[in-house]
Chains A and B, each alone.
Chain A
Amino acid sequence: MLRYILRRLLAMIPLLLVITGFIFVIGQYGAGDLAAYLTAQQSGGRIDPALYALNRQRLHMDQPVIVRYGDWLTHALHGDLGVSYITQGQPSVNYLIGQALPISLEIGLAALLLVVLIGIPLGIVAALTRNSPVDYAIVGGATLLSSIPLFVLAPLAVYFLVIQVHLVPSVGIGWHGLFSQQSILPVAILAANSCLTTVRFTRASVLEILSQEYIRAARARGLARLGLVLRHVLKNALIPVLSVVGLTTSYLISGALFLEIVFNLQGFGLLTYGALRSGDVQTLTGITLVTALLLMGTNLLTDILYSVVDPRVRLAA
């Protein structure tokens, strides 16, 4: 097991290098001349050649891009992701991400919890009532909710649920911790938008188990339907569902971008949005690294959990 984890961690390194290197390099070449931008800002719109040369030197822009990437990498390995030159006050990227990431992680985890707590039971019910109106309603509803893009679903949900029906208080919707009334709507919308994979996967998994021989044997022994489901089906059907968690995490990260724009939550998504709008390459490179780490970590974790829960799965060391 330890060897497996080590091997997986080692395999991540080249991937991370390529991804961050790619973003870094196209950022340096593509996103405009940062030194010129800074010079124009410092000297009120004019480009002073001496100041420009100084800025270029300060940003190490006189060195080849590979050297600069090496610099960035050494700093990143020491936990320093550089400075966001374009943001006002030139804060460090570490500070920006440190401020924003916890909010998004809380929202994401809450949404993930909701997806698991609602999506799995719905999937089981859909499988047990296969091809009935209940099944169609569950799968159809989940399909519909996930087909509406988040940046449409969120404003429409606010319009109908808050402004028309007053389901939740209309004051201060946003993120105030897990158990506040104002946080329900954003989390619920994010969960509703990403629950389809879980529902469909659970449904398919339960159906697969239901068609196995030992279920037929248990039924022949006269086991009642509920007992059958609880004792034999669930235990085995839920193992594959674990792998959906990794997929859903990817959705939730993409979703955070749009959710945080619509509700103006000061999280990771909004930070990304700002950096995208202003072409802030330093922040974007840091964000890429953190996102890739998050996703790779989740995938590794689900794979390990998978092998713990299902003894048939051997992790190839």
Chain B
Amino acid sequence: MAVTEIAAPVRATSPRPRSLWSDAARTFLRNKAGMAGLVVFVLLLVVAVFAPLLTPYNFLTQNYSAIMQGPSARHLMGTDELGRDILSRVMMSVRTAVLVATLVTVISAVLGTLVGALGALSGGWVDAAATWLMDALLTVPPLWFAAFVGVATRPTITNWTTNLFTATHWDIFKDAVVTDYLVVVGCLGLVSWAGIGRIVRGQVLALREQEFIQAERALGATNWWIVRRHIIPNVLGPVIVALSVSFGYAMLSEASLSFLGIGIRPPGASLGQMISDGIGRYRSAPHLVAMPGLVLAVVVLATNFMGDALNDALNPKARQR
């Protein structure tokens, strides 16, 4: 046993060293669960982008002669209590969820990186304030915080959009769904960056003390060189992993807020809203809850698998298990 352990690192198969990224790509491609997650994720994005072209029916068209039907050839996921095609509604809801999750992920990536890096690099009271802010945000479960903020700010945001409409007469500000998007993206963005911020801060702090950074400094490297050449590539891995998981979590959060009736509301389409509508009728028509629910579960599962695989791929030290 001891012999194999010593022999293992000496691999004759790789003649020249591979870069972190090509090594990561190879590891990721070999991970079956991760690849399955990636396939689902890509499918999700395709559905989200092309949903209006792909839906077999209009997602709002009601058909009173086909109410609460189970899955069939005409309606693959069945119909809801107003005779609307569930598959079409699920596809449009995926579009909603992906749009929200993309915006929330971008916001949390930018805010988290800025606050985390700023704290770690400047130290002192700036760091103390940044850490403290992130701790405060993580004290209450994020979804509760988002829900409170969403409820409390919705009237104000509605006022803003109304004022913007009277000022510009652009139709986009008259749309109630746009207001819903602003509320949901705003409150989820506000609470979800703290996790990323903590990761960035921890990574930068750990890197700053490493010998190779100090050696670079001694050789006369500028701060900008060190940040570009060493800090960014080393922080990028953990951040990508965190972002891929938080994308799924943002989709779930959007659905949860909409389930509570404080996220995306009709006529906007949302998985949470569909589930909430079906919850009073699941005893006789379980597909009303099961169809959007299982789509949501598959999405969360896929992003988790993807996150795990990315973690394996981008974090070579954690690979020995």
Contact = CB atoms under 8 A, between A and B. Distances in A.
A29 to B, nearest CB: 7
Contact of B156 (A29, A144, A273): A29
B148 A23 contact: yes
Interface string B282-302: 110010011011101100110
A296 B148 contact: no
A291 B140 contact: yes
A261 B279 CA distance: 10
Interface string B267-279: 0000010011011
Interface in A247-298: 250-251, 253-254, 257-258, 261-262, 272-273, 276-277, 279, 281, 284, 288, 291-292, 295-296
A277 B154 CA distance: 12
A143 interface: yes
Contact of B262 (A26, A29, A32, A277): A277
A30 B155 contact: yes
Contacts of B321: 207
A149 B255 contact: yes
B308 to A, nearest CB: 10
B1 to A, nearest CB: 10
A317 to B, nearest CB: 19
B213 interface: no
Q: Which range contains the number of A residues in contact with the other chain?
A: 35 or more
Contacts of B297: 144, 147-149, 152
Contacts of A18: 136
A145 to B, nearest CB: 10
B141 A250 contact: yes
Which of B132, B152, B256, B259 is packed against the most chain A CB atoms within 10 Å? B152
Contacts of A155: 278-279, 282, 286, 289
A251 B142 CA distance: 10
State the majority secondary structure of interface residues on A: helix
B304 interface: yes
Contacts of A149: 252, 255-256, 293, 296-297, 300
- Indicate the size class of the contact surface on chain B: 35 or more
Nearest to B296: A149
B250 to A, nearest CB: 13
A31 interface: yes
A260 to B, nearest CB: 12
A214 interface: no
Contacts of B154: 30
B266 interface: no
Contacts of A143: 301, 304
Contacts of A178: none
Nearest to B300: A147
A149 B270 CA distance: 14
Nearest to B147: A276
B58 interface: no
Interface of A: 14-15, 18-19, 23, 26-27, 29-32, 143-144, 147-149, 151-152, 155-156, 158-159, 163, 207, 250-251, 253-254, 257-258, 261-262, 272-273, 276-277, 279, 281, 284, 288, 291-292, 295-296
11 contacts: A15-B135, A18-B136, A149-B252, A149-B255, A149-B256, A149-B296, A151-B275, A156-B282, A276-B147, A284-B151, A291-B141
Interface of B: 132, 135-136, 139-141, 143-144, 147-149, 151-156, 252, 255-256, 259-262, 272, 275-276, 278-279, 282-283, 286, 289-290, 292-294, 296-297, 300-301, 304, 321
Closest 9 interchain pairs by CB?
A: A152-B293, A30-B152, A148-B297, A155-B282, A147-B301, A254-B141, A26-B152, A30-B153, A147-B300
